[in-house]
Structures are given as C-alpha cells and as structure tokens.
A and B are shown apart, each in its own frame.
Chain A
C-alpha cells in the first residue's frame, strides 16, 4: 500500500488555467505538508496542516490555496497558473507537527505550465 499518494503524477497546462493536485496519506498522521521543488532542486515548504488546521503558511502567492477536508487529505489548488509555477510539488505527512517526527513524502507531481 502506498503511504502517501499524489494525483496526478504529471500535469501539463496553459498559463491562466486553474488546476488542483490531490494528496492522500494512509499512515494515520496528523500533519500534512506541501513542498515545491524548483528547477534548481531546492525544496521549499509551502504549507502545513495539523488536524485540518493551517499551521505553516510560507510566503506563497495567494493563487495557491490548500484545502484539507480531513486529516488524511491535503489538496492544493492553484489559480491563474504562471510559467514560474512549473516545478515538482511534493506532499508529505508526519505523526505530529512538533518534535522529532520524520516526514513521509509522496512521489511528487510534475507541473508544467506552457
């Protein structure tokens, strides 16, 4: 069974479109995250939710809106896509939001904006 899954794996779309990426974890974790990995391969945290509550919201354009319908799901909706949004987006989860908890990552969604 896949611990952290993301859909879709690849997403190609045009500028100005709105798209969503879905993430699900079956580990029973309380905390979920969204990361962006750009072309230089640096991973940057975007958002973190603990028990459906937003706890980390880095400097991310408000075109990006996370939604957590329940503890096991954290979706990322992106409005008015721009060329600079092209990246690989990773979802992750951990047992809690504080303490030395390891994070489990999904396989990533490669978003290409043309």
Chain B
C-alpha cells in the first residue's frame, strides 16, 4: 500500500475553511484515499474517501489531484469540535487494511 505524508500540525481559525494536505506520490490505480479523524480520547471516526473524483459529504470535501499523487481534505466551516488528529490513508480495494500514519494534528482556534 502507498505511503502517505502529512504535516505534523496545523492551525485554523474557527469559522474558516480548514485545508489538510496529504501526499501519496506512490499511489497506484486501484488504491483509495481515505480520511479519518480522532478526537482526543475517542475512537477514530470515518470522514470521507475517494478514488479519482472529488467527493463531498456532510462532513467534508475531498479534492484529489488529477495525477492522484496528492489530496486535500476540506472542512468548510471549522468549529472548535473539529480539533483532532486527521489521518490520510491509502488502501487497495482488494485488501481493505488500514495502515495508519502519524496524521495531522489540527487545532481550531477561537
């Protein structure tokens, strides 16, 4: 499975859009990009996933570059409750096994 690289930490002002980047330059054609987050002392929470096209749901948007070597998770109007560690994970459809990295610690500031 492809490896991902994320910034260690980021800040964002409350009410603004939080843009979390992820590099996955070795991704192959049948690998999905998944995003999860873990709020302090809680279990991880699924956010969104995509293969090639951009995706949007009630929580976030996922923008995947045309070459699929990087992606950006967008939280459109960040709130204090969005403070968490965000994990970008790349997995194959045929071997659904999440390999977790260190993630990005996102701090939303009032």
Contacts and interface: CB of A to CB of B under 8 A. Distances in A.
Interface of A: 4, 41-45, 48, 56, 90, 92, 94, 96-108
The contact size tier of chain B is 20 to 34
**From DSSP, what is the main secondary structure of chain A's interface residues?**
loop
Interface of B: 32, 34, 41-46, 49, 51, 85, 93-98, 100-103
**From DSSP, what is the main secondary structure of chain B's interface residues?**
loop
A98 B82 CA distance: 29
Contacts of A106: 43
Contact of A101 (B45, B94, B96, B102): B96
A106 B98 CA distance: 16
B44 A98 contact: no
Q: For B44, B93, B95, B103, which residue has the most chain A Cβ atoms within 10 angstroms?
A: B44
